[in-house]
Amino acid sequence: MEIIISLLSWIFRNILWINILLAILLIFFERRNPTTTWLWLMVLTFLPGIGFLLYLFIGQDLSKKKIFEIKEEEDYCFSDIAAIQEEQMKKDEYIYKDPNYIKYEDLITMNLISAESFFTQDNNIELYFDGYDKFYSLIKSIEEAKEFIYLQYYIFKSDNLGKRIINLLCEKAKEGVDVRLLVDGMGGRRFARKYIDKLRESGAEVAIFFPAIIPFISLRINYRNHRKICIIDGKEGFIGGFNVGDEYIGLSKKFGYWRDTHIKIKGSAVASLQWRFYLDWRFATGAEMTKCQTYLTEETASSGIQIVSSGPDSKWASVKNGYLKMISNAKEKIYIETPYFIPDDSIFDALRVAGLSGLDVRVMMPCKPDHPFVYWASMSYIGELLEAGVKFYTYEKGFLHSKVVLMDDFVSSVGTANLDIRSFKLNFEVNAFIYDETINLKLTDRFLDDLKNCKEITLEEYSKRSKIVRIKESFSRLLSPIL
């Protein structure tokens, strides 16, 4: 006890020098974005001691290179295919099944180069906007699985829905099906240990991405695996916004109806999802890589898809760049559904320019926050964009968790990445960039249908905000680089 008291006393006496040392490390070693650097310097200056603890919990980035060194060394399964496609497109030798793809070749090429996301043209897509529909389809696919079931979720709760899936996975594992479940260490805090043991006893494998050192307390808020991926027998792949828990099927008293978007893919794009799972599984378990499968399916459908991943281990912010390219290249419309709206400068400027250019730009957000600071920070960005002609809506029926971006009448993005700085830089995300007029139309129709349950935020109404609300927004906006 005396040692602890002496240590605390020493820290208190030398807090100024500790802050100076942290400031030096922050400026000269981490090479952050200047805005983020100034924010942390302000926190360290005005909250000595407390700022130091906050920095340890959510700020430190020095170990990033070491943490992801193994991931940087991995050879991507489809790098050769991506390189061949890139070369063919540069020489105008690539054969497109749909001539409309040619209009968006710059977006396709960017995803090829920045994310080695090869382009597939033989996919069938099913859309899910409701948790019951998504999990009914997933459970049916799991029941019919013959070879393997790979599930990856940010949040996996052992509540009624979670236990139903767990029991089914146990049954399939006992049948000899290769069952693997990967859950994030922070998002999976409510995944009870007894159910992990139950899965393992049945023969299923369970891995935790960045597990907490202390049970139920994760000290690493950054670098969370926010991906939601399911692959069944290499033939079906699920990707989107739904996690596993009763709230995602509308059973939460706090949030009520849960509005989200998920897709099921059949086609060659499933192989890319499967490889994404392998890479994350290897990082979490240290297991040797499974042999890459680059087979093409026999699907006769014609939806074009690129599976684009990004995270703190990526050289490029590929998903964000995809969003930016869609917004910048749009000629008619940009429709966005996102639970969190904290754009960086590039996305903010692109939306402002699109609005000033007379495009139909609409952004839909939740009416109720699940994270108050994030909500108020989101609201702080709206004013200038309203003046530029961008329209904003709040979803009133329940909680909007959908992550969808629609460009004109052909390109759509559905996945796990929010329109916020955390998804762009700090979390592991994955999105499907879809090139298909029919899918875009279905997503557009759903967006317009959702507007019936929305309230528009007008510039006049926004200008009448109280001083208390403005103070909340201003304070939260200062924290936006780390939210």
Pair of tokens at residue 146: 């013959």
b/e for 150-186, b at 16 or more Cβ within 10 A? bbbbbbbbbeebbeebbebbbebbeeebbbbbbbbbb
The pLDDT value recorded for residue 83 is: 85
Within a domain: 225: yes
Within a domain: 416: no
**345 catalytic per annotation:** no
Asked if residue 271 and residue 190 are part of one domain, the reply reads yes
Which range, of 83-87, 125-129, 212-216, averages the lowest pLDDT?
212-216
The pLDDT value recorded for residue 62 is: 42
Q: Active site residue: 320, 391, 401, 472, which one?
A: 401
Asked if residue 179 and residue 269 are part of one domain, the reply reads yes
How many domains, in total, are found in the chain? 2
Backbone angles phi, psi at 76, to 5 degrees: -70, 140
Task: Name the 3-class secondary structure at 343.
Answer: coil
Q: Which of 32, 47, 62 is the last residue of a domain?
A: 62
Asked if residue 274 and residue 170 are part of one domain, the reply reads yes
**262 catalytic per annotation:** no
Q: Active site residue: 134, 172, 403, 425, which one?
A: 403
| Mean pLDDT (whole number) for 269-288 | 91
Q: What pLDDT digit, counting tens, does each position of 115-150 carry?
A: 989 999 999 999 999 999 999 999 999 999 999 999
Comparing CA positions, the residue from 404, 373, 345, 384 lying closest to residue 479 is 373
The pLDDT value recorded for residue 222 is: 74
Task: Name the 3-class secondary structure at 96.
Answer: coil
Query: What sections of 203-237 are H helices per DSSP?
Result: none
| Mean pLDDT (whole number) for 263-268 | 96
CATH of the domain at 173: 3.30.870.10
Asked if residue 159 and residue 17 are part of one domain, the reply reads no
**Distance (Å, whole) CA 23 – CA 38:** 10
Asked if residue 141 and residue 40 are part of one domain, the reply reads no
What is the 8-class DSSP label of residue 57? Answer: I
Asked if residue 57 and residue 148 are part of one domain, the reply reads no
Q: Active site residue: 408, 420, 436, 450, which one?
A: 408
In sequence order, the 6+-apart residues with CB closer than 8 A to the CB of 358 are: 389
pLDDT at 73 over 50: no
Within a domain: 456: no
Within a domain: 87: no
Element (H, E) at 150: strand 148-153
pLDDT at 408 over 60: yes
**233 catalytic per annotation:** yes
Within a domain: 276: yes
What is the 8-class DSSP label of residue 113? Answer: H
| Mean pLDDT (whole number) for 346-355 | 97
Asked if residue 278 and residue 152 are part of one domain, the reply reads yes
How many angstroms separate the Cα of 114 from the Cα of each of 58, 178, 315, 420?
27, 32, 8, 20
Within a domain: 372: no
Q: Which of 266, 281, 300 is the last residue of a domain?
A: 300
pLDDT at 219 over 90: no
**409 catalytic per annotation:** no
pLDDT at 242 over 90: yes
pLDDT at 46 over 70: no
| Mean pLDDT (whole number) for 71-84 | 68
**159 catalytic per annotation:** no
Within a domain: 461: no
Residue for token pair 């006893």: 201
The pLDDT value recorded for residue 214 is: 58
Asked if residue 13 and residue 155 are part of one domain, the reply reads no
Q: Active site residue: 134, 172, 198, 226, which one?
A: 226
Task: Name the 3-class secondary structure at 407.
Answer: strand
Q: Which of 62, 81, 109 is the last residue of a domain?
A: 62
Higher pLDDT, 321 or 300: 321
Which range, of 71-85, 88-102, 407-421, 433-447, averages the lowest pLDDT?
71-85
Radius of gyration (C-alpha) of the chain in whole angstroms: 23
The pLDDT value recorded for residue 378 is: 81
Asked if residue 220 and residue 292 are part of one domain, the reply reads yes
Q: Which residues pair with 431 in a beta bridge?
A: 308, 415
Asked if residue 190 and residue 44 are part of one domain, the reply reads no
Asked if residue 278 and residue 147 are part of one domain, the reply reads yes
In sequence order, the 6+-apart residues with CB closer than 8 A to the CB of 99 are: none
Within a domain: 73: no
pLDDT at 199 over 50: yes
**Mean pLDDT for all residues in the chain:** 85
Amino acid (one-letter) located at 292:
C
Share of the chain above pLDDT 70, in %: 77
Which range, of 64-78, 415-429, 469-483, averages the lowest pLDDT?
64-78
Asked if residue 277 and residue 137 are part of one domain, the reply reads yes
**371 catalytic per annotation:** no
Q: Active site residue: 157, 172, 198, 228, which one?
A: 228
Q: Active site residue: 98, 133, 159, 233, which one?
A: 233
**Taking the alpha carbons of 33, 351, 262, 317 in that order, is the dihedral positive or negative?**
negative
Q: What pLDDT digit, counting tens, does each position of 140-186 carry?
A: 999 999 999 999 999 999 999 999 999 999 999 999 999 999 999 99
Comparing CA positions, the residue from 404, 322, 317, 272 lying closest to residue 110 is 322
Output the pTM of the full model.
Answer: 0.86
Confidence of residue 286 (pLDDT cuts 50, 70, 90): confident
**Distance (Å, whole) CA 112 – CA 378:** 31
Residue for token pair 């749909």: 98
The pLDDT value recorded for residue 49 is: 55
Residue 39 structural domain: 2-62
Are 105 and 111 spatial neighbours (Cβ–Cβ below 8 Å)? no
Q: What pLDDT digit, counting tens, does each position of 421-463 carry?
A: 889 988 999 999 999 999 999 999 999 999 999 999 999 988 8
